[in-house]
Structure 1
C-alpha cells in the first residue's frame, strides 16, 4: 500500500512539477473520504530555503532521512546539471535497494540517472531532453513518445502535466481506480489521457541548402492535396529515381514519401486546430486518398486519432 510520500528538493527545482506531486499526494482530501498521505518535503539540509527560477523559495521541513522509510520517493523536475548532491543520490539508492517506488517528473529522471537507477530500465522524460537523457545514461531505455513509463518500482514521466498522468496512474495502480478518479475529479483533470508526447512535438519543415530541392519542397508544400510520386518528382528535377531519392534523404533526412506524409500531417493538425471541417474534408485537403488512410497515418505519426487531437487542441486554441 501507498501511505507515505517523500519529495526531495534541490535548488532550481521546477515549481509546477513540484506542485503536481503536492497536489496529488500532499492535499488532505478527507472531505472526499480519501486517506491522507504522510507527505514529506525534504532537503539536503533541513530548514534551508531552496530557490527556483520563478523567484519563489521553499524551505523543506524535513532532511533526507525522511526518505528512508517512505513508500514513494517523488522527484520533481529541476535544472539539468553535471553534478547532483551526493547525499541525495545516496538516499535514492538506499530507497531503491529497500524496494521503495521511485517517481520522476520531467527532468527529475536525470537525478535518478545520476544515482545509477536508470541502468537497464525503461524510462522517459520531456521530449526535448530525451536524447540527452539517453546519451548521459546509455544503459537506460528511453522512450520519447509516451506520457509516462511504468517499470514496476520505477515510474518516469514526460514534461510538466504528464506528471499528473503518472501520479494518477500510480495512485490507480496502488490504491485503485476509485481513489484515482476521485483525486482527478477534484483536480478537474481527466483520470487518463489518450496518446503520448508525439502529439505535442513540433516538426518543422526541413531546410535545404540545395536551391533545386528548396524550390521543390516549397512547391510541394503548396500542393499537398495533389498526388505525387517519387518518379514524378525525380523527373521534375531531371534526375534518375535512385539519384533523386538519395539526394532527397541527404537534404531532408527522410525519404520523399515520408517527408510528404509528415507535411500533410502538419497541415492536418493546423486544420484540426483552427477549423471545424469534417474529417473527410481534412483528409482530402491534405492529400490523403481516404479518411481511413488519413486516420491511419495521423495515429501513427501523432499518437492519437484526429478526433481526439481536435478535442484537445481546438479547445486549447479557443481558450488561449
Structure 2
C-alpha cells in the first residue's frame, strides 16, 4: 500500500501514561492490508517518557509528529487533576486541531484535551472515577459521566481504558465502514459495536456512605427492596422524624433517601440480569419497581441503556 494513502495516527505519550491506554490505538491502527494507517508514538520530546504502573516508554518522535498526524490520540495518565501538560504540548495540540487533525482522548487523557480549551461548551467524558474532577477543573466542559465515548467531530473523548477500544472502532467505522470495523473487532476479540451512549457501568450506583449514623437502616432497606419503602418507613426504622432522617441521610450519602433506594433497586436489578434468567417483568417485581416499563424507565435514566442490552453485555457465561 502506498504511504501516500496511509492515514496518519500519532499517540501522544505524556508523563505517567497508562500502558493499556497507550497500547490500544497503537494496536487497533497498526499498519496492515486491511488497515491503511501509519502509527507513531511521540512525546513532548524524543526519548524516554516515564509512564504509570511501573512502565516507561521510548518514543522516537517529539511534537513534530502532531504536525504530521491526521488523528492524535491522548492516552490517559496518572494524577491528571494535579497539573496540566507543558504549554508546548498544549500549543502543539491546538495547532494540530486548527489545521484539521482530530484529537481523541482515552480515559484521563481528556484532562490534557480540556487544558487546550478545545472542549469548552462541548460534551466530553472520562473515566467515571474522574468525571467530577474534570467538571470541577474545567467548568465550561459539559461532562457526561454516563457514556462510553463522545464524538464532537474534531474532538473525541472516551471513558476508561476498555472504552478506548470502542472509541477506536467508532473512528474506524467512520473512516473505513462497518466491515472494516467488525474485522478489526474480531482481530482484537472485542465487541464489534458498543454505542457511545451506553453507560460506563460503574461498580455500583449506590454511593459509598460518608458516615455511619444510618448504616443499620440502609442495611435493613437493602434486604427489603422488593417491599414498599417510603421516607416515613425508613425514618421509623431509624427512630427519627422524616424531616431529620431526610436531612441527615443526604449529609451521609449525597442522595435523598428515595434516590438512594432507587439506585439500590437498580443495582439489584443489574445483579439479577447478570446472574439469573428471570424476565424483566419478574425482576421489576423482585426489586420493588412493579412493572417492566417502570424498570426500563429508571434503568435507562441511571445507566443510559436498557435491561435487555445490559443482560446481553454482562450475563454470566457470555
The TM tier, using the shorter chain, reads 0.7 to 0.9
- For residue 49 of structure 1, what is the aligned residue in structure 2? 48
Which segment drifts farther, 276-285 or 161-170? Answer: 276-285
**Partner SS, residue 59 of structure 1:** strand
Q: 1:216 to 1:208 in 2, by over 3 A?
A: farther
Within 5 Å, which residues of 2 pair with 1:1-320? 3-25=7-29, 27-30=30-33, 34-46=34-46, 48-79=47-78, 80=80, 81-194=82-195, 196-204=198-206, 207=209, 211=213, 213-234=214-235, 245-315=246-316
Distance in 2 (alpha carbons) for counterparts of 1:11 and 1:239: 52
User: Does the aligned pair in 1 maintain the 2:15–2:77 contact within 8 Å?
Assistant: yes
Deviation at 1:238, TM superposition (A): 6.7
Distance in 1 (alpha carbons) for counterparts of 2:200 and 2:39: 33
User: Does the aligned pair in 2 maintain the 1:2–1:72 contact within 8 Å?
Assistant: no
Distance in 2 (alpha carbons) for counterparts of 1:39 and 1:60: 12
Q: 1:238 to 1:130 in 2, by over 3 A?
A: closer
Q: 1:151 to 1:251 in 2, by over 3 A?
A: same
Deviation at 1:67, TM superposition (A): 1.4
**Partner SS, residue 209 of structure 2:** coil
Deviation at 1:169, TM superposition (A): 1.0
Q: 1:207 to 1:187 in 2, by over 3 A?
A: closer
Q: 1:147 to 1:226 in 2, by over 3 A?
A: same
Q: 1:255 to 1:5 in 2, by over 3 A?
A: same
After superposition, give the CA deviation of every residue in 1:46-102 in whole Å (9 maximum; x if it has no partner). Answer: 2x1223234333221222112113111111111224142332222111111212111
Distance in 2 (alpha carbons) for counterparts of 1:290 and 1:161: 33
Deviation at 1:176, TM superposition (A): 2.2
User: Does the aligned pair in 1 maintain the 2:159–2:200 contact within 8 Å?
Assistant: no
User: Does the aligned pair in 2 maintain the 1:198–1:301 contact within 8 Å?
Assistant: no
Deviation at 1:286, TM superposition (A): 1.5
TM-score (norm 2): 0.86
Distance in 2 (alpha carbons) for counterparts of 1:240 and 1:78: 47
After superposition, give the CA deviation of every residue in 1:32-59 in whole Å (9 maximum; x if it has no partner). Answer: xx2421221112222x122323433322
TM-score (norm 1): 0.86
Distance in 2 (alpha carbons) for counterparts of 1:236 and 1:61: 64
Which runs of 5 or more residues in structure 2 are unaligned? none
Which segment drifts farther, 284-293 or 151-160? Answer: 284-293
User: Does the aligned pair in 2 maintain the 1:272–1:306 contact within 8 Å?
Assistant: yes
Which runs of 5 or more residues in structure 1 are unaligned? none
**Partner SS, residue 128 of structure 1:** helix
**Partner SS, residue 96 of structure 1:** helix
Distance in 1 (alpha carbons) for counterparts of 2:298 and 2:274: 17
Distance in 2 (alpha carbons) for counterparts of 1:162 and 1:210: 35
Q: 1:162 to 1:78 in 2, by over 3 A?
A: same
User: Does the aligned pair in 1 maintain the 2:126–2:145 contact within 8 Å?
Assistant: yes
User: Does the aligned pair in 2 maintain the 1:11–1:50 contact within 8 Å?
Assistant: yes
Distance in 1 (alpha carbons) for counterparts of 2:212 and 2:111: 39
What is the aligned residue count?
311
